[in-house]
Amino acid sequence: MGLSPQITNLIIILGMMQVAKKIPFEDPNVLNLCRALYALSNVIILCIHLYIMNTINKKKDLTTLKYVEPAPMGSTEEGKLVTTTIHAYDLAQSKQLLRSQMMGVFMMGVMHLYFKYTNPLLIQSIIPLKGAFESNLAKIHIFGQPASGDLKRPFKQSAGLMAGLQGGAAQSDKKAVEAAERAGRGGAKEE
């Protein structure tokens, strides 16, 4: 059993912070090399996401997927029943990961260009790339792992600050789906 992704990310961050102290970012050549590394990393991540989307579209798995989406935290309403296909679910997840990456690039651009931070260029060249290869979609569509256990759809949310604010994990067990169907919550098929 290996270390969890959060632990390895922490180790990488701490190690890269020590390495970044020794790098002369004042030298324009070194700074441009770090910028190029960051840009290359993001191009690779974009290629990974495009490859995954292409693979999803080639497979076009139209198996029906039903799950109960949790209500937002603090809301008194019940969760909403979602009926979709594996194809649509995987595409939505892939687009969400791609949007998340683009938001990270935007934030890094603000930090680097506006606030003149250079150290995060190194860390953000490695951590998102590692995350792209560790994503559930990459495990299924690139590495060919079966969609069972932790890779069963709907995917479990990773534990973190934002996961707690979103109201918990989606429920796909038969009991929760049937209860939502009887209550008439949602059920419109997503395309």
71-123 pLDDT tens trace: 777 777 777 888 999 999 999 999 999 999 999 999 999 999 999 989 889 89
What residues contact residue 80 under an 8 Å CB cut-off, 6+ apart?
A: 68, 69, 71, 180, 185, 186
Q: What is the pLDDT of residue 166?
A: 53
What's the CA angle centered on 42, arms 21 and 40, to 5 degrees?
70
How far from the centroid of its chain's Cα atoms is residue 156's Cα? 11
DSSP state letter for 171 = B
**Closest by alpha carbon to 94, among 83, 86, 105?**
86
Domain ranges of the chain: 25-154
Q: What is the pLDDT of residue 161?
A: 47
